[in-house]
Amino acid sequence: MKSLASFLVFYAILTLSPQAKEESFQIVHKSKSVPIIFDRNDAEVVAISSNAMAEDIKLITGIRPEISSKPKPDASAAIIIGTLGKSAMIGDLIDRGKISKGLLDGKWETFLIQIVKNPFHGLDHALVIAGSDPRGTAFGVFELSKRLGVSPWVYWADVKPAKRRDLTVTLNQVVMGPPSVKYRGIFLNDEDWGLQPWAAKNIDTDIKDIGPKTYARIFELMLRLKANYVWPAMHKCTKAFFYYDENPKVAAQYGIVLGATHCEPMLRNNVDEWQKNFFKEYGSKPGPWRYDTNEKEIKRYWNDRVKEVADRKVDAVFTVGMRGIHDGKMPGPKSTTGKIKLMDKVIKDQRNMIAEHFKRDFSEIPQIFCPYKEVLQLYQQGAEVPEDVTIVWADDNHGYIRQLSTPEEQKRSGRSGVYYHLSYWGPPEDYLWLSSVSPTLISYEMNKAYAYGADRLWVFNVGDIKPAELETEFAMDLAWDIEAWPPEEAADYVEQWAARTLGQSFAGEVAEIKAEYYRLAASGKPEHINLVSFSEQEAGRRLEAYQAIERKAIDLKKRIPAHLQNAYFQLIYYPVICAAKMNEKHLYARMGDHGRSQDAHSEIKKLTQAYNKELAGGKWDGMMSMNPRNRPVFGMPKIQNRETPQEASNTSIKTINVSELQFDSSKLQVIRGLGVDGESLSRIRFDGLSYEDAGNAPTASIRLNLPAGLRRIKLVCVPTHAIHEGRSLRCSVKIDGRQHKVLDVNSGSKSKKWTKNVIRGYSSAEVVFDLKKGGSVDLQLALLDPGLAISSIVVY
Ligand code: REL
């Protein structure tokens, strides 16, 4: 529980105390709040966050602080909020040595929070929040809010803070930033069954779409999460982001940097702007989406957006390169050489446009190239990406990053980033309903990426945002501070998160429930369960495990305080119970139990109805679909005949858990919460070294008693990918130091094997040894490549 302990210590620095102490600052006392003061010349996001803080204080105490631009004569204290170089008050405080310029100057998104005595004439003291830049200031404001007990999910998951009459903050100077990752953000994707219908019905009701009012709420959430970058929703159910003139304005007000997906170069939404509305914009039908045959038209279309972005001074990161209209391949030449040549030309032309309109050095105009799906092959085979462009490596859509930068690529000035899925539409199968990628897997993959230089930009596909709240917050916390949650500690995050979200007294139970929820989903996500086969024993154990967390979640619900019931339902109860019911529906059907299968299905229906119609008085109506894209898994499965023979159960001699192994803990570690068995053995951090000689590689061993004969040994591993081109995921297996074989579990990311692996949640490889005589033997594993994570070893 190291992390929980450090969390408590950390929070003790800034505690809320009912009685003011000398170093404390009273925000609300005797039904009176100190005012919040900021300079009107400061950035708009400062006004926005100051107002949000006033609302947060009101939510806790019932008293809304007054907002003003200068100290009020009748107040002896104030909260002063401002940005270095934009706020005269902050400038003054620096000039008079009250706060340090050096802590902020020249730093990206950095802030300090500090109690200052006699800040200005007439004020005895102030709580100062100062940022190195406007977003830094806003992050400081929301950090204070969070520490006062207001969750980032106060609106988005109804996490209401406990009421207090007085509000006092006690702190030493707090300095946070710069963040580990420069651009950190979310992709709002597959919005058709949640975000779009919900926004149309409840928020942007005038335009019946995801529009400026919805984006304002999303951007506030992002600031609360210290995120700064967005790929807006882009499916055909919604209009292009730029269609509503207000959208980019709202982004600017909230200080959010605009980006666009792997298939939307130059910030253009091709479904809406090319396919649907080209005529409206240009007075003619668009020609083919082919750069080799229709260069002029496509160029003009891109150029117009670049000009608009430059003219309106939109803070943006351009995606360069080209794919199909939507999530398809770039149309054009058939041959790979032809495609690569065309891609090179596209990128060159796009950069000329950027240069023409921005008239600044390329290093000041961030650009990304995302080798997603088939684009990775083009890149691997020679497509040229200028060195100042950030390469945004993608995962395989299932949470395992396909490849990272080689030592050569790590030298590029544009460095690299990651596009990572918490939600996904596409082959081999979607997972658009519940969110079940664990913090530990996120930490494992993103720490690995960071170690290989991916510190420039991280974007997470969060689907409709809900119910990926916890995982999204984890991802953003990690992007802010890569050291906060290393893989071996990431499993503790849930307890810390639950303590501040749902209350300390429930945190341990929530953490236990979620740990099982993630473990079970690792061997078959609820959305994939129809594709995974289990032996009768395995199915039985799985049902028991799900029913155990279901009982715990139901029991906990009875004790959660009234003001957090809504939050608990959407954050924990709905996903956990529905995951259990989805498993019951399919596994009981396989056992021929129609009644229980049908009951599970009906329960999912009932809970989804409650989510939409009853939760928080109907606030989330339209947000939750129990059958996005109507995939077969969501319907009633075929009930099998009770007599149907089940798959044979495991005949193995022994399954070895990695915690039974002996190893040097300065080189290897067991990571809790990773893999199908709930723990996996991996190297400590990602040192980058691969070994040809097993003698030098970190090893783990165990003494086993085995009968003589042919013995098959299977490694069950997390289905990660080799760290970069030219590497693999090898493990050398030795018995009694003599017989020696090397296994490789790297499957690539296109093979049938890979499909099987990501659906069932593990990769595997086997070796056969001929044991001449039975008895005690020494089994030794040498982990030759970084990124290899072994979950268990099965001996047959
Ligand atoms: O996950 C992705 O990045 C892609 O699948 C998306 O771009 C795409 O919109 C997908 O949701 C379906 O078309």
Q: How far is the CA of 187 from the centre of ligand 1 (A)?
A: 10
Q: CATH class for domain 512-634?
A: mainly alpha
190 in ligand 1 pocket by Cβ < 6 Å?
Answer: yes
Please say whether the beta carbons of 758 and 400 come within 8 A.
Answer: yes
In whole angstroms, give the CA distance from residue 694 to residue 734: 10
Question: How far, in Å, from the CA of 421 to the mean position of ligand 1?
Answer: 10
The pLDDT, as a whole number, for residue 695 is 85
Residues 6 or more apart in contact with residue 499 via CB below 8 angstroms? 4, 7, 507
- Residue 739: the pLDDT is 80
Q: Is the CB of 193 under 6 A from ligand 1?
A: no
Coil, helix or strand at residue 35 = coil
Round to whole Å and give the CA distance between 711 and 771: 7
CA of 424 to the centre of ligand 1 (A): 7
**Cα atoms in the 13 Å half-sphere on the side-chain side of 405:** 27
Q: Is 111 in the pocket of ligand 1 (CB under 6 A)?
A: no
CA of 579 to the centre of ligand 1 (A): 23
Higher pLDDT, 767 or 23: 767
Ligand 1 center to residue 422 CA distance, Å? 12
Atom of ligand 1 nearest to the CA of 187: 3
Mutate to test the pocket of ligand 1, among 264, 461, 629, 749 (most ligand atoms within 8 A of CB): 461
Cis bond upstream, residue 428 (ω within 30): yes
Does any ligand 1 atom lie closer than 6 A to the CB of residue 622? no
Q: What percent of the chain has pLDDT over 70?
A: 96
- Cα 46 off chain centre by: 26
Residue 697's identity, in one-letter code, is A
* Nearest atom in ligand 1 to 261's CA: 7
Which amino acid, 686?
Answer: F
- The CATH number of the domain covering residues in 654-795: 2.60.120.1620
Which one-letter DSSP state was computed for residue 316? Answer: B
In angstroms, the CA 466 to CA 156 distance is 8
Q: CA 314 → CA 252, 294, 305, 318, 402, distances in Å? A: 7, 28, 11, 11, 32
- Cβ–ligand 1 contact at 461 (below 6 Å): yes
Hey, what's the torsion of the CAs at 653, 658, 663, 667, to 10 degrees?
A: 140
Q: Where are the alpha helices (DSSP H) in 203-277?
A: 212-224, 246-253
- Looking at this protein, which amino acid is placed at residue 609? Q
Q: How many other CB atoms are there within 10 angstroms of residue 531's CB atom?
A: 17
Residue 641 vs residue 245, higher pLDDT: 245
Taking the centre of ligand 1 as the mean of its atom positions, its distance from the CA of residue 546, in whole angstroms, is 30
Distant-in-sequence, close-in-space partners of 727: CB < 8 Å, separation ≥ 6: 690, 785, 786, 787
Residue 204: CB within 6 Å of ligand 1?
no
DSSP helix/strand/coil, 256:
coil
Q: Where are the alpha helices (DSSP H) in 729-789?
A: 752-760
d(C-alpha 508, C-alpha 492), whole Å = 10
Q: How confident is the model at residue 649 (pLDDT cuts 50, 70, 90)?
A: low
Residue 325 has pLDDT above 50, yes or no: yes
pTM, rounded to two decimals: 0.96
Q: What is the mean pLDDT of the chain?
A: 94
The CA–CA distances, whole Å, from 437 to 508, 529, 599, 676, 713 equal: 20, 15, 27, 12, 29
Asked if residue 425 has its Cβ within 6 Å of ligand 1, the reply is: yes
Q: Report helix, strand or coil for 674.
A: coil
Mean pLDDT within 34-48: 98
| Strand ranges, E, within 363-512 | 367-369, 390-394, 416-421, 457-463
CB-based burial, 693-732: b 16+ in 10 Å, e otherwise? ebeebbbbebebebeeeebebbbbbbbbbbbbeebbbbbb
Q: Is the CB of 327 under 6 A from ligand 1?
A: yes
CB-based contact 76:43 (threshold 8 Å): no
pLDDT at 646: 52
Q: Measured in angstroms, how far is the CA atom of residue 498 from the centroid of ligand 1?
A: 31
In the CATH scheme, what is the code of domain 13-176?
A: 3.30.379.10
Residue whose CA is at the smallest distance from ligand 1 atom 4:
327
Q: Which of 190, 234, 419 to mutate to test the pocket of ligand 1 (most atoms within 8 A of CB)?
A: 190
pLDDT of 20 > 60? The answer is no
Can you give the length of the chain in residues? 796
Taking only the tens place, the pLDDT of each residue in 55-82 is: 999 999 999 999 999 888 888 999 999 9
Q: Which helix (H) or strand (E) holds 782?
A: strand 775-783
SS3 at position 420: strand
The answer to whether residue 235 scores a pLDDT higher than 80 is yes
**CB distance 591 to 600 below 8 Å:** no
d(CA 163, CA 123): 28
114, β-bridge pairs: 128
424 lines ligand 1 (CB under 6 A): yes
- The predicted pLDDT at position 650 comes to 59
pLDDT in the model for residue 644: 53
Residue type present at position 460 = F
Determine if ligand 1 sits within 6 Å of the CB of residue 261.
Answer: yes
Band of the pLDDT at 206, cuts 50, 70, 90? very high
Q: Whose CA is nearest to atom 7 of ligand 1?
A: 327
As annotated, the residues of the chain forming the CATH 2.60.120.1620 domain(s) are: 654-795
Residue range 438-461: mean pLDDT, rounded: 98
Residue from 262, 422, 424 whose mutation best tests the ligand 1 pocket (most atoms within 8 A of CB): 424
Task: State if residue 238 touches ligand 1 by the CB under 6 angstroms criterion.
Answer: no
Q: Among 754, 680, 660, 781, which Cα is nearest to 429's?
A: 754
Question: Rounded mean pLDDT of 657-682?
Answer: 97
Compute, in angstroms, the gap from residue 520 CA to the centroid of ligand 1: 26
Kindly report, as residue ranges, where domains of CATH 3.30.379.10 are found in the chain: 13-176
Distance CA 85, CA 754 (A): 52
- Are the beta carbons of 111 and 130 closer than 8 angstroms? yes
Tokens linked to 207 = 């335009």
- Tokens standing for 539? 């199915």
The token pair at 179 is: 């963040």
Point out the ligand 1 atom lying closest to the alpha carbon of residue 189. Answer: 11
Check pLDDT > 80 for residue 4: no
Q: Is 170 in the pocket of ligand 1 (CB under 6 A)?
A: no
Helix and strand counts by DSSP (H, E) for the chain: 20, 29
Q: Whose CA is nearest to atom 5 of ligand 1?
A: 425
**Residue spans in the chain of domains classed CATH 3.20.20.520:** 183-485
Is residue 423 lining ligand 1, measured as CB closer than 6 Å? no
Q: Which residues belong to CATH 1.20.58.2150 in the chain?
A: 512-634
Collapse the DSSP code of 337 into the 3-class scheme (helix H, G, I; strand E, B; otherwise coil) and give the result. helix
- Distance, in Å, from the CA atom of 170 to the CA atom of 154, rounded to the nearest integer, reads 23
Asked if residue 44 lies in contact with residue 81, where contact means CB atoms within 8 angstroms, the answer is no
Contact predicate 267/316, CB 8 Å = yes
What DSSP element (H or E) covers 29? strand 24-29
d(CA 142, CA 57): 12
pLDDT of 429 over the 90 cut: yes
CA torsion, ordered 47, 53, 58, 63, to nearest 10 deg: -70
Q: Pick the residue whose CA is nearest to atom 8 on ligand 1.
A: 327
Tell how far the Cα of 426 is from the centroid of ligand 1, in angstroms: 7
Q: What are the angstrom distances between the C-alpha of 416 and each of 385, 453, 484?
A: 12, 6, 21
Atom of ligand 1 nearest to the CA of 190: 11
pLDDT band at residue 647, thresholds of 50, 70 and 90? low
Give the Å distance between the CA of 400 and the centre of ligand 1: 16
How far does residue 244's CA lie from ligand 1's centre (Å)? 22
CATH architecture assignment, domain 183-485? Alpha-Beta Barrel (3.20)
Distance 425 CA to ligand 1 centre (A): 6
Write out the H or E segment, with its range, that includes residue 494.
helix 493-502
Q: Is the CB of 324 under 6 A from ligand 1?
A: no
Determine the distance from the C-alpha atom of residue 785 to the mean position of all C-alpha atoms in its chain, rounded to a whole number: 26
Which of 450, 367, 472 shows the shortest CA–CA distance to 156? 472
pLDDT at residue 110 above 90?
A: yes
DSSP for 514-560? HHHHHHHHHTS-GGGGGG----HHHHHHHHHHHHHHHHHHHHHHHHS
Ligand 1 atom nearest residue 394's Cα? 3
Question: What whole-number distance in Å separates Cα of residue 775 and Cα of residue 705?
Answer: 5
Other C-beta atoms lying within 10 Å of the C-beta of residue 737: 10
How far apart are the CA of 262 and the centre of ligand 1, in A?
9
Q: Phi and psi of 256, rounded to 5°?
A: -90, 135
CA distance 715 to 793: 5
Gap from CA of 375 to ligand 1 centroid (Å): 14
For residue 653, how many other CB atoms are within 10 A of its CB? Answer: 13
Judge if the beta carbon of residue 341 lies within 6 A of ligand 1. Answer: no
Lowest mean pLDDT among 219-233, 426-440, 650-664: 650-664
Tell me which residue has tokens 């995606």.
319
pLDDT value at 138 more than 70: yes
Distance from C-alpha of 704 to C-alpha of 699, rounded to nearest angstrom: 16
Atom number in ligand 1 closest to CA 263: 7
d(CA 45, CA 304): 28
Q: How much is the average pLDDT of 717-736?
A: 95
Pocket probe for ligand 1: among 187, 188, 189, the residue whose CB has the most ligand atoms within 8 Å is 189
What does the DSSP 8-state code read for residue 162? P
Question: What is the ipTM metric for this complex?
Answer: 0.96
Which of 425, 431, 433, 461 maximizes ligand 1 atoms within 8 Å of its Cβ, making it the mutation to test the pocket? 425
Residue 6 pLDDT > 60, yes or no?
Answer: no
Question: What angle, 0 to 180 degrees and rounded to 10, lies between the N-to-C axes of helices 536-559 and 574-590?
Answer: 150
pLDDT exceeds cutoff 50 at 14: no
Phi–psi pair at 420, nearest 5 degrees: -135, 140
CA angle 25, 143, 99 (to 5 degrees): 55
Q: Which residues contact 317 (CB under 8 A, 6 or more apart)?
A: 183, 229, 257, 258, 259, 366, 367, 368, 457
Q: How far is the CA of 397 from the centre of ligand 1 (A)?
A: 9
Comparing C-alpha atoms, which of 606, 564, 567, 550 is closest to residue 470? 567
Does ligand 1 have an atom closer than 6 angstroms to the CB of 732?
no
Are 150 and 59 within 8 A, CB to CB? yes
Q: Choose one of 325, 327, 397 to mutate for the ligand 1 pocket test, by most ligand atoms within 8 angstroms of C-beta.
A: 327
| Closest protein CA for atom 6 of ligand 1 | 327
Q: Give the list of residues 6+ apart from residue 595 with CB closer than 8 angstroms, or none.
A: none
- Beta-carbon neighbour count of residue 300 at 10 Å? 10
Of ligand 1's listed atoms, the one at least distance from the Cα of 419 is: 3
CA nearest ligand 1 atom 13, residue: 327
Whether the per-residue pLDDT at 282 is higher than 90: the answer is: yes
Residues contacting residue 431 through CB under 8 Å, at least 6 positions apart: 423, 424, 525, 526, 527, 528
Instruction: Verify whether ligand 1 is closer than 6 Å to residue 426 (CB atom).
Output: yes
| Position 185 pLDDT exceeds 60 | yes
| Rounded distance from Cα 420 to ligand 1 centre (Å) | 12
